Amino acid sequence: MPIKIPDKLPATAQLRKENIFVMSEKKAMHQDIRPLKIVIVNLMPTKIATETQLLRLLSNSPLQIEIDFLQMDTHESKNTPSEHLATFYTTFDEIKDSKYDGMIITGAPVENLEYEDVDYWGELTRIMDWSKTHVTSTLHICWAALAGLYYHYGVRKELLDEKIFGIFQHHTIHRKTPLIRGFDDVFYAPHSRHTDVPVEKLRADDRITILAESDEAGAFLSMAKDGRQIFVMGHPEYDRMTLDQEYKRDLSKGLPIDIPKNYYPDDNPDNRPLLTWRAQANNLYTNWLNYYVYQVTPYDLDGTPDLAEFTRFQKGGADIAK
């Protein structure tokens, strides 16, 4: 089934070029089905590119999905046209009385700041608090994962001596957990961050379960509350050339930046990078939508999510292939 997004959203044309089934709002109205309602809190400066990246992954599912994009009312975006935001985005005050099957909070280029110094921190904490009662499952990406772990569990980030930047190998843990169903023993994913929550801190907190980690890049995927809160430290949604764009952007600004690890063939920026993480990224988002959103969300969003299902899956009730 398709994702339901506005026809004039820039991502729509790109996704259709990739033969991804995007449904118009008009056609969706004629289907007698309740789509999953997902709200995306897009904190990235490259909002339009991020929209396409996330919608591509969300489309790889048999479920019909309706998307709302949320911007921070307390922050002025400098890199996205105001017309785009006015047309396709809403604010928290406009949706706070609504309920959603799922929420995604993206990364943001503010990791060197203390959380309380981020201009929209107060608004974001209201959203994270609201998610406890109004969202079935929330997926936090990169900086949002760090912020979520701090806000919900008091786990503090640490500034790294060297940026984690490149494509890193990870291995899975707790393989019977449905979120990593179908994952290979080892898989690859992009990282791009200056801060981290050490694996030891997460292991020491029995409220948090690590599902995948890297010897080089640390924890990649963790969850809490049986999947109501999921934390992705990397950027599996990134396109083939996203790290290339970040690398060349920083070079042009004269910022200290190393070549992204394990990315360019022969470490030569003139060589086209290999796309080695898309399959696992699709798997992650499909599993999230299926097991942690669709399987447990009530048909009537004013109802209560079936948390017993979360617990059953978390304890290995699903028949997972090894």
Per the domain annotation, does 320 fall within a domain?
no
Total count of domains within the chain: 1
Contact 180, 291 (CB under 8 A): no
Give the model's pLDDT for residue 319: 45
Give me the residues of the chain with pLDDT under 70, please: 1-3, 19-33, 298-322
Give the model's pLDDT for residue 200: 95
Per the domain annotation, does 197 fall within a domain?
yes
- Distance, in Å, from the CA atom of 76 to the CA atom of 119, rounded to the nearest integer, reads 10
Q: Which residue in 51, 111, 140, 142 is the catalytic one?
A: 142
Q: Which residue in 51, 66, 237, 246 is the catalytic one?
A: 237
CA distances from 206 to 35, 129, 162, 200 (A): 34, 21, 29, 12
Q: Is 237 tagged catalytic?
A: yes
Per the domain annotation, does 319 fall within a domain?
no
Per the domain annotation, does 8 fall within a domain?
yes
Q: Which residue in 191, 235, 246, 309 is the catalytic one?
A: 235
- Distance, in Å, from the CA atom of 136 to the CA atom of 127, rounded to the nearest integer, reads 14
The 10s digit of each residue's pLDDT in 132-175 is 999 999 999 999 999 999 999 999 999 999 999 999 999 999 88
DSSP H/E element including 126? helix 121-134
Contacts 24+ apart (CB under 8 A), 275-281: 275/240, 276/167, 276/188, 277/167, 277/187, 277/188, 277/189, 277/190, 277/236, 277/238, 280/183, 280/184, 280/187, 280/188, 280/189, 280/236, 281/57, 281/189, 281/236, 281/237
Q: Is 75 tagged catalytic?
A: no
Contact 12, 6 (CB under 8 A): yes
Per the domain annotation, does 107 fall within a domain?
yes
- Can you read off the two tokens belonging to residue 273? 């990078």
Residues pairing with 141 in the sheet: 232
Which CATH number do you get for residue 82?
3.40.50.880
Give the model's pLDDT for residue 15: 76
Per the domain annotation, does 321 fall within a domain?
no
Q: What is the DSSP letter of 223?
A: E
Per the domain annotation, does 104 fall within a domain?
yes
Give the model's pLDDT for residue 311: 60
Q: What is the pTM of this model?
A: 0.89
Contact 196, 142 (CB under 8 A): no
State which residues form the domain around 255.
3-314
The 10s digit of each residue's pLDDT in 74-114 is 998 888 989 999 999 999 999 999 999 999 999 999 999 99
Per the domain annotation, does 62 fall within a domain?
yes
